[in-house]
């Protein structure tokens, strides 16, 4: 029975997962590398709840409940007695493996370990632990408090009990699940990322302005957000990491990151979280 949930990496996604879990009544322990980092995650949650209150979708009591259910920490040791730990650190296999090796040695034997990776092989992370059967992918979408989907990913070794417990957890925080094979990009990103990369390629070759590309897809296809604004929202760094991983796996040009994306990431224009990506958010403020 899952009661206490650990989060490792309290950034955009980790804080969102922490927020929905805390709102559903779970005790949440959120671990990031420094106090400043988990405080930033708590800031994301506070702002999201303030917005919900403004719109009449939450009240002060709900905000208090969520914030009082979350404890910020900087040491993985504090997650030792969690029933489920969701990892949401940077999209890098070496960093994730390091986190899971430590979690495996620290957590109680029953703890289920889950990764929120968008594109890395869940089975490769599970392989560094001695609990492959208790390892699963729980892929939430951004922003977690709004998006309804979770992809539950089974590896070759995920047990039925782990799969069911992970699925029930996702449902208990208000999500609808789809089940995916442990293949890069799962269901959604294997379709979405090539589309985003194509939009960047069209901007790069001067087909249209960023606004016209985005408006074209919003007004012509009924998408709520254009592909360039969506890439800003996901993070250009995260989009590039996912593209690189998929390209590496499939060796198919569909998944190759366009040079413009790489230049922008290297220049630090990684999207909304940095104040600048394809659009300038500092100006907008």
Q: With contact defined as beta carbons under 8 Å apart, do 78 and 101 qualify?
A: no
Q: Which residues contact 85 (CB under 8 A, 6 or more apart)?
A: 5, 6, 7, 8, 79, 103, 107, 111, 112, 113, 114
Residue 37 in the binding site for ligand NAD (CB under 6 A):
yes
Nearest to residue 173, comparing CAs of 15, 9, 26? 26
Q: Closer to ligand NAD by CB, 142 or 202: give it.
A: 142
Distance between CA atoms of residues 113 and 151, nearest Å: 15
**Cα 181 from Cα 93, distance rounded (Å):** 18
Q: Which span (45-53, 55-63, 86-94, 152-160) binds ligand NAD, by CB under 6 A?
A: 86-94
Shortest Å distance, C-beta 165 to ligand NAD: 20
Q: Any idea which residues carry the catalytic annotation?
A: 118, 139, 151, 189
From candidates 5, 6, 11, 165, binder to ligand NAD by CB under 6 A: 11
Whether 5 and 112 have beta carbons less than 8 Å apart is answered as: no
Interface with ligand NAD (CB under 6 A), residue from 235, 240, 243, 265: 235
What is the separation of C-alpha 45 from the centre of its chain, rounded to a whole number of angstroms? 15
Query: Can you tell me which of 20, 23, 73, 88 binds ligand NAD, judged by CB under 6 A?
Result: 88
Using rule CB under 6 A, residue 12 touches ligand NAD: yes
Query: Binder to ligand NAD among 27, 106, 142, 275 (CB under 6 A)?
Result: 142
Residues that bind ligand NAD (CB under 6 A): 8-14, 31-33, 37, 88-91, 95, 99, 116-118, 140-142, 234-235, 238
């Amino acid at each position: 029975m899952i009661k206490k949930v650990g989060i490792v990496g309290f950034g955009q996604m980790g804080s969102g997962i922490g927020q929905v879990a805390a709102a559903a009544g779970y005790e949440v322990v959120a671990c990031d590398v420094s106090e400043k980092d988990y405080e930033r995650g708590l800031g994301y949650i506070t702002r999201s709840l303030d917005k919900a209150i403004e719109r009449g979708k939450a009240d002060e009591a709900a905000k208090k409940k969520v914030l009082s259910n979350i404890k910020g920490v900087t040491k993985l040791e504090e997650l030792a007695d969690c029933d489920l730990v969701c990892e949401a650190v940077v999209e890098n296999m070496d960093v994730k493996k390091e986190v899971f090796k430590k979690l495996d040695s620290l957590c109680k034997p029953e703890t289920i370990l889950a990764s929120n990776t968008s594109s890395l092989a869940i089975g490769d992370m599970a392989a560094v632990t001695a609990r492959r059967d208790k390892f699963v992918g729980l892929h939430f979408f951004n922003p977690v408090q709004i998006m309804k989907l979770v992809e539950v990913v089974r590896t070759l070794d995920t047990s039925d009990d782990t799969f069911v417990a992970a699925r029930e957890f996702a449902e208990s925080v208000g999500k609808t699940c789809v089940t995916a094979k442990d293949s890069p990009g799962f269901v959604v990103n294997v379709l979405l990322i090539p589309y985003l990369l194509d939009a960047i390629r069209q901007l790069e070759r001067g087909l249209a302005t960023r606004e016209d590309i985005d408006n074209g897809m919003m007004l012509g296809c009924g998408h709520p957000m254009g592909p360039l604004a969506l890439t800003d929202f996901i993070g250009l760094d995260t989009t590039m990491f996912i593209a690189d991983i998929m390209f590496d796996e499939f060796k198919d040009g569909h998944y190759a990151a366009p040079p413009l994306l790489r230049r922008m990431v290297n220049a630090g224009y990684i999207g909304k979280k940095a104040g600048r990506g394809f659009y300038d958010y500092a100006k907008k403020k």
